[in-house]
Amino acid sequence: MAVFASSTLFLLLLLVCSVGTAVGGVHFSTLARTLNVTASPKQGQVLMAGVDKIRVFWGLNQTVKAGTDDAYKKVKVKLCFAPVSQENRGWRKTEDDLKKDKTCQFSLTTQPYTKNPNPSSFEYTLERELPTATYFVRVFVLDGSDTEVAYGQNTDAQKTTNLIQVIGITGRHASLDIAAACFSAFSVVSLIFFFVKEKRKGSKN
Ligand SMILES: *[C@@H]1O[C@H](CO)[C@@H](O)[C@H](O)[C@H]1NC(C)=O
Ligand SMILES: *[C@@H]1O[C@H](CO)[C@@H](O)[C@H](O)[C@H]1NC(C)=O
């Protein structure tokens, strides 16, 4: 009886586990790179989170077969960590399974896909929460069931060209805090100075 129960349990576990893996997401390596994507920052330009803007352009690569985008319904524009900012950071790790992938953590916009000879574009103010890092832009194409079917990115396959440098707010706060600390130390000193001066004046009278 116990043997029967445990083998049933084992089979059940096996079933649950295999369903679990089957439920995984779309794999990035299966997506076709059909979009031409560019972003406004110039190579080497350093941007400030919470301040600077970027403009992202996308359109069907004119070299792909006409009608390739018949099933394209939406685009999802994302900001992604470049390899240099992923090193030793498991929480930004690239996984082929898009449900597990941590490369593209920042959504800029999701919009209907427009079949248009001219590229579409979107202007985005770098959000204040962005950490200091090197990024690239990836645009995912979704079909009618919100499933990723294609993509484009503003960098090469190795993610080494046209990368975007962003300085986060926290890095800048540190220097602001130092400035504030110096300023208040200075005011305490000058307060003591005037206090002593006034006292001397008072004792002379
Ligand atoms: C557009 O497609 C051509 C041919 O497949 C490819 O060589 C080129 O790199 C693509 N351009 C972009 C921006 O993906
Ligand atoms: C890709 O986009 C760039 C900049 O928008 C444009 O100059 C180029 O012609 C486009 N290439 C293709 C293949 O669509």
Whether the CB of 119 sits within 6 Å of ligand 2: yes
- pTM of this prediction? 0.74
More confident residue, 11 or 92: 92
pLDDT above 70 covers a percentage of the chain that reads 74
The answer to whether the beta carbons of residues 72 and 189 sit under 8 Å apart is no
CA proximity to 56, closest of 8, 106, 95: 106
Helix, strand and coil percent figures for the chain, each rounded to 5 = 30, 30, 40
Cα of 36 from ligand 2 centre, angstroms: 6
Nearest CA to ligand 1 atom 7: 63
pLDDT tens string 123-167: 999 999 999 999 999 999 999 999 999 999 999 999 999 999 999
Output the CA–CA distances (angstroms, integers) from residue 86 to 36, 140, 162, in the order listed: 24, 20, 17
Cα of 63 from ligand 1 centre, angstroms: 7
Give me the domains of the chain, ranges plus CATH numbers.
Answer: 27-167 (2.60.40.2550)
What does the pLDDT read at residue 21?
A: 47
Quick one: which atom of ligand 2 is closest to the CA of 36?
1
